[in-house]
Amino acid sequence: MFDTINMRLIKENAKGIDLISHVPVRLKNVSEHIHNEGENLTIIGHYEGFKVSVTNKRVTITEHSISKWYLGDNFKTLTRGDTQRAIEKLSDELCLPIANADLTRIDLAQNLIMTYEVPVYFNHLGLLQYYNRFEQAHSLYYQNNKRQLVFYNKVREYTDKGLTIPELFKTRNTLRYELRFKNRLCNQFNMPEVKASHLFNEQFYMNIIDRWHQEYKNINKTRDAIKFDYAMIKTKKQYQLQAVLFYVLQKGGEVEALKEISEAKKRGELSKKQAHDLREQIKEACKCDLLTCKSDVITELDRKIKQSVRSYN
């Protein structure tokens, strides 16, 4: 499940190693940068795809997928055991205690082979509370200042970069779902420290995969149709919600309905309060399962996501 991992190993956790003299000899494309009128030196280089920055106080390792480095491509994903072996291998090759490194970013990802073309699924993924939603031609982003959820076409990414696509995926609709913890990891996991060794700790591994699943489940899903069964409607409020749902589905989903309200407000056709009230009604209705049937597209995606977390290994 782990993909890009950013790490920072401070001198105190490096077992007395002189970082400046020890690490750069293992790097390629090395450059030196002097700061504070010659007092501080930073050496930057690359090691098999990783960007490595070295000072006399710390080593930072960033900008590369640990699964791609260890497995050869990141169509495959690391198990918990693979992750431990990958950390041990990186430690051996850099001659550093990488398990002691603090983590500054963790990306979890899984490739899902789907029935339909990847953009079809974007149309059924609505808003996510506390995130901004950005849809592009071949990707969908949910973003806040700590985390990012990304859905995109993995085969297209490899094609655009001229990379070799594994035979299994060449003609398949491959949807990749990533959850990226981008900063303040101790705060996000409510832990005093988050080390590379935590990646293969069973409890941490189970918890973070559950977070990957839960963030997906929190997304409002667009449903395909309304099935009117008046025996199920018991209150005036339920009638109102169904009317709003009917409007939402006619407009093509929650995102499109909210977009139309925003445009009407900009044209002066709705006051600020009217627009706010309408948006809240739409959001409430889209969370209501009453008299709606789940999309086959979402049913498939729900199933594939659930299968990915079924076993912790």
Looking at residue 23, its pLDDT comes to 92
Looking at residue 97, its pLDDT comes to 97
Give the pTM.
Answer: 0.83
Query: 84-88, 89-93, 144-148, 288-292: lowest mean pLDDT where?
Result: 288-292
Average pLDDT over residues 143-154: 97
Question: How many CB atoms within 10 Å of residue 155?
Answer: 21
pLDDT beyond 90 at 232: no
Query: 37-46, 124-133, 172-181, 264-273: lowest mean pLDDT where?
Result: 37-46
Q: Which two tokens stand for residue 34?
A: 């002097």
Q: Which two tokens stand for residue 227?
A: 């099935």
Query: 12-16, 125-129, 257-261, 284-288: lowest mean pLDDT where?
Result: 284-288
CA distances from 297 to 125, 227, 282 (A): 10, 18, 21
Looking at residue 139, its pLDDT comes to 95
Alpha carbon distance 262, 269 (integer Å):
10
Sequence-distant (≥ 6) Cβ neighbours of residue 295 within 8 angstroms: 124, 221, 222, 223, 224
